[in-house]
Amino acid sequence: MYTPATQPSPCASLRIGDAAPDFEARSTVGPVRLSAFRGRWLVLFSHPADFTPVCTTEFVALAREAAAFEARDCALMALSVDSLFAHFAWLRMIRDRYGVEVRFPIIEDPTLVIARGFGMVAAQDNDSAAVRSTFFIDPKGIIRAMTCYPANLGRSIPEMLRILEGLQAADTSGALAPANWQPGEPLLEAPRHDLDAVFDAEEATAWFIRPVGGTPE
């Protein structure tokens, strides 16, 4: 049964366009600092706990698609409240059971300092059991997109890749990604802020709905 929350929702403290808070922490690949990833894209995501069913399926799927993120010049970084040694034991289990190695860093955050700083949990929460947040951070360290899922629903890895590619394509072209856009499909031109263009358009929607390099919709 779903019960409405009576406290601030996770993901509420940061907004799209904010600089991602810097931090340094222990991880499964050694000490990591967020700002060290400047110059490339970064997907930072939290999971409620190690050795849980949904999180395990997510990490198996992400490990299998890690090369796809890398090909788009994007690093992956995970975070949970579990200890570093719990992370190690979980990754060994994943490798032995599913035949994939998780090589991207998993941060330990037992005091919830990082999770609170990113709004992954509300300020008064004592654990991250209800958290499944994702932050898409651009090469300048700016948060460009966020998603927040409940603990009982796993992320869509294809959608994570679609968001990343949509942001990158829009940045490269200065255009817009329409609903249900998929990589390789046309983008939309940004509408002109020009009354003459509005009145001169051949059709009523042609001044604001136009595929890049195409004809008006």
Highest-scoring range by mean pLDDT, 16-25, 111-120, 198-207: 16-25
In whole numbers, what is the pLDDT of the chain averaged over residues? 88
Residue 6 clears pLDDT 50, i.e. is over it: no
Asked whether the beta carbons of 201 and 217 are under 8 A apart, the reply is no
- For residue 19, the SS3 value is strand
Q: How far apart are CA 20 and CA 118, in angstroms?
A: 8
Number of neighbouring beta carbons within 10 Å of residue 84: 15
Residues of the chain with CATH 3.40.30.10: 24-155
Highest-scoring range by mean pLDDT, 88-97, 120-129, 130-139, 195-204: 88-97
Mean pLDDT of the 193-199 span: 80
59-101 pLDDT, tens digit each: 999 999 999 999 999 999 999 989 999 999 999 999 999 999 9
Catalytic residue among 11, 55, 74, 148: 55
Domain 24-155 classification at class level: alpha beta
| Secondary-structure breakdown of the chain: helix, strand, coil percentages, each rounded to the nearest 5 | 30, 20, 50
Residue 217 clears pLDDT 80, i.e. is over it: no
DSSP letters spanning 183-216: TTS--BPPPP--HHHHHH-SSTTTTT--BTTS--
CA 123 to chain centre: 21
Residue 127 clears pLDDT 70, i.e. is over it: no
Beta bridge partners of 5: none
Residue 5 clears pLDDT 50, i.e. is over it: no
Mean pLDDT of the 36-53 span: 95
pTM for the whole structure: 0.88
Residue 4 clears pLDDT 50, i.e. is over it: no
**Catalytic status, residue 55:** yes
